[in-house]
Amino acid sequence: MTATGRVSAEFGAAWNSFLRRRTAVFFTFFFPVILVLIFGALVQTQPTGGGLFAEPQAYYIPGYLATVVLFTPLSRVGSEIARHREGNRFEKLATTPLSRTEWMLAQTLVNVVVIGLAALLILALMVLVTGAEIPLSPGILLLIPFVVLGVTVFCGLGSVLGSIADSQDGVIAASNTVALPLLFLSETFVTPELLPDWFGPIVNLSPLTYFSRGVRALTYEGAGLTDPTVLTNLGVVAALAVVFFVAGAYAIPRTD
């Protein structure tokens, strides 16, 4: 069996397991929907005022996408690792040809598909429900690598959290603690102008910041395929994806 075959087998098992957890499927897609409905349709934006949600609707697309790119992989991969540990599944897998990297890749691919679908749902709701105007240019295709690489980053981080936490409850608590600050302090919903000057460098420490900047350039500013802002941020997200993927794969436990 090739590595492709092993990843395919692991992907199939993980995908079917996910699809058959109906509550998990429902809330994975309901979460971004309710966010868009509450903030995009109910609260709406106030372009002439100040404070939160003062920008046009399309400005917040990176924020809504970030909710699924950030939260879902963190909690899903972390919980999956906790389930594997509790069921001694890693001990079994350690005696098979499946490597940690292949396991990590399969889980990441499952999340890419799930979050890709959720991202499409968010974009559709933003356009149809909130009236957000997304510039359509060839550059919009770069949303795909941004989502794929962003998911990879947080799958890796989820794996690390899952390996550190000793239970599914611990994983959820840890992922929420990590995700909430990242979500609001990564130029997603809160504009840089609303933060104190000294906080600027700290924002740059968040991987999600580069995702937001790149996605915003594509979906709000209409940047093209060769836009330096887009490519720079895509490069940073790609580098972080490699680092977090390797860290996540390395963190996967065997038995101890």
Partner 1 sequence: MDEVLVADDVRKEYDDTVAVDGVSLSVGTGEVFGLIGPNGAGKTTLVRALTGTTRAEGTIRVFGGDPEDADEQRVSLLPQSFSPPARLTARELVAYYGGLYDDSRDPDAVLADVGLSDAADTWYENLSGGQQRRVCVGVSLVNDPDVLFLDEPTTGIDPAGRRSLWSLIEGLAAGGTTVFLTSHSMAEVERLSDRVGLLADGKLVAVGTPDSLVAEYGGESRLVVRPERSPESAAEALSDASRGFDLIVDGDELLFRNVAPTDIGPAVDALESAGIEYDALTWKQPDLEDVYLHLTGDEFGVSERPTTTAVADAADGANDADDTDTDTDTDTDTLGAGAPAGSGGDR
Q: Site mask, partner 1, residues 137-176, x = CB under 8 A? A: ----------------------------------------
For residue 45 the two structure tokens come to: 């934006």
For residue 159 the two structure tokens come to: 């794996």
- CB nearer partner 1, residue 102 or residue 227: 102
Judge whether 80 and 15 are in contact, CB under 8 Å.
no
Distance (Å, whole) CA 179 – CA 74: 8
Distance (Å, whole) CA 198 – CA 234: 25
Q: Considering the rule CB under 8 A, would residue 96 count as an interface residue with partner 1? A: yes
**Beta carbon of residue 100, minimum distance to partner 1 (angstroms, whole number):** 12
Q: Site mask, partner 1, residues 11-50, x = CB under 8 A? A: -xxx-xx--xx-----------------------------
**Beta carbon of residue 118, minimum distance to partner 1 (angstroms, whole number):** 21
- CB nearer partner 1, residue 12 or residue 131: 12
Applying CB under 8 A, the span of 2-10, 35-43, 125-133, 172-180 interacting with partner 1 comes to 2-10
Distance (Å, whole) CA 192 – CA 42: 24
Give burial (CB, 10 Å; 0-12/13-18/19+) of 51: exposed
**Residue of 176, 108, 178, 106 whose CA lies nearest to 147:** 108
Task: Give the number of other Cβ atoms within 10 Å of residue 99's Cβ.
Answer: 16
Residues that bind partner 1 (CB under 8 A): 1, 5-6, 8-10, 12-14, 16-17, 20-21, 86-89, 91-98, 254-256
